[in-house]
Amino acid sequence: MQAVPVVWAVLALLAATTAWGSMFLVAKPMVAQLDPVWFTTVRYALATLPLLALVQVWGRAPWTQLRRHHRSLTWLGLLGYGAFSTLCFYGLRLTLPSHASVLMATMPFSTLGLRWWLDGQRPSARALWGAALALAGVATVAGLLGPAARAAGPDALWGDALIFAATLGWVVYTRGGARLSHLNALEYTALTATASLPWLLGAALLLTALGLCRAPAPITLQAWAPSLVYVALVPTVLAALAFNLGVRRLGPAVGTLFLNVVPVSVMAMRALLGQPPGASELLGTALVAMALTLHALPGASAPAPRAAPCR
Task: Provide DSSP, 218-229.
Answer: HHHHHHTHHHHH
Q: Does 306 map to a domain?
A: no
CB atoms within 10 A of CB 185: 15
In the chain, the number of structural domains is: 1
310: in domain: no
Q: Is residue 54 part of a domain?
A: yes
Would residue 177 count as lying in a domain?
yes
CB atoms within 10 A of CB 268: 14
Measured CA distances, 308 to 115, 123, 311 (Å): 21, 17, 9
Q: What is the CA radius of gyration of the chain?
A: 20
| 265 CB-near residues (< 8 Å, 6+ apart) | 17, 18, 20, 21, 22, 101
Task: Answer yes or no: is 130 within a domain.
Answer: yes
Q: Does residue 305 lie within any of the structural domains?
A: no
Which domain, by its residues, includes 152? 6-296
- Residue 254 is classified by DSSP as H
Structural domain includes residue 304: no
- Residue 24 domain-assigned (yes or no): yes
Per-residue pLDDT of the chain (311 residues; tens, 9 = 90+): 456 687 888 888 889 888 988 888 898 899 989 999 999 999 999 999 999 999 999 888 899 999 999 999 999 999 989 999 999 999 988 887 777 877 877 777 777 777 778 777 777 777 777 777 777 776 676 565 555 544 445 677 888 889 999 988 888 887 887 788 788 878 988 999 999 999 999 999 999 999 999 999 999 999 999 999 999 999 989 988 888 778 777 766 566 667 767 777 777 788 787 878 777 777 877 777 777 677 666 555 544 443 333 33
The model carries a pTM of 0.77
Contact 82, 228 (CB under 8 A): no
State in Å, rounded, how far the first CA of the chain is from the last one. Answer: 49
